[in-house]
Amino acid sequence: AGPPGSGKSTLAAAVCARLNAAVGAEIAVVFPMDGFHLSRAQLAALPQPDEALRRRGAPFTFDADSFVHRVRAARTTHDDVTKVPAFDHEVHDPEEDVISIDPSHKVVLVEGNYLLLPEEPWCQLAGGDGAALLDETWFVDTPVDAAMERVMRRHVAVGRTVEEAKTRADGNDRPNADLVWANREAADVMVPSYDWDAGAGKDSGPSGVEVLAKGQAQEQAREGDAKPNTGKAKTKKKVPYPAPRTYVVHDVPGVATTYNILVPGAGKSRGGAAPTVVCAGDTVTVHATGVVVGEQATAAAFWSTHDEGEAPFTYVAGVGGVIPGWDQGCLG
């Protein structure tokens, strides 16, 4: 859990990748809450549709009952696939059955803003009555002001003016973040806010991510059918992530997109392709830099995930959830 802009999606993707790499098999999967946004049509049918659309992202604009039901299914179903929706950023609505949670997935990383709320039905996720659906909860401890800076940059990156971005952040994102922050003490583990591009700073790095990933993956492999993970954090050692390096530059035939391979990947695609090949449906994490080209070109980038306070962007490839250039650069 964590406020909007805290980096929880990036952290969940990183932990998932490292768990799978440690075991050499796909035993972990990310289950995002974002797929349970009410659609725009559903919001428009609410008693106060304008307010619902303006506050999209607040707890009441999610199908919380369905989310909790699907988390329960993922936890208790051992011999069948649980399908989970994902949010399509291209159409700004959820898309059903994008993510599959298979019996082979022994660790399910549930990621979202409101996992620690004490109200029904959210409290069924991490409640203290011994029947919680989540075995362990982590909170990405990003201060609200820092998170709002990141959120504003995201708003600008998708075409809003600075004034519009600030209005959106102050009027909707900040109240949601304040609510999430107020319930952070319910978490089992506090993960410090991490600048993914800063390298090995003295105080940087999620708490024991690499240590937990390796140890819990091995434990899950031994436990067989146990699902999801029930281990507790054994250490608070801070482990920095290695800085990316340029490996080779390619031109993508037929399109005006170029991409850099920073570090060759070791994971196997869902599509069964060789390692390092991204297929539709794969979850990928990318850096992005926005620049103006053509007659109005500027020397400086207007936004980048390499900027201070930003982080790499994680999305599902080949499903229309991002601008075409990202898919052109990542697929194949």
Query: Does residue 232 lie in a domain region?
Result: no
pLDDT of residue 250: 39
pLDDT of residue 58: 95
Three-state secondary-structure class, residue 202? coil
CA distance 216 to 310: 28
| pTM above threshold 0.95 | no
pLDDT of residue 10: 87
pLDDT of residue 105: 93
- The verdict on 154 and 263 lying in the same domain is no
pLDDT tens column, 183-237: 999 999 998 876 543 333 333 333 333 333 333 443 444 344 444 444 444 333 3
Residue 197 near residue 206 (C-beta atoms within 8 A): no
pLDDT of residue 81: 93
Residue found by looking up tokens 């990318």 in the block: 286
Residues of the chain with pLDDT below 70 are 128-130, 194-277, 281, 292-300, 318-325, 327-328, 332
- The verdict on 159 and 264 lying in the same domain is no
- The verdict on 33 and 178 lying in the same domain is yes
What is the domain range of residue 121?
8-192
- The verdict on 16 and 68 lying in the same domain is yes
Query: Does residue 201 lie in a domain region?
Result: no
Closest CA to 1 of 189, 172, 138, 146: 138
- The verdict on 122 and 162 lying in the same domain is yes
Which positions ≥6 away from 47 have C-beta within 8 Å? none
CA distance 17 to 29: 9
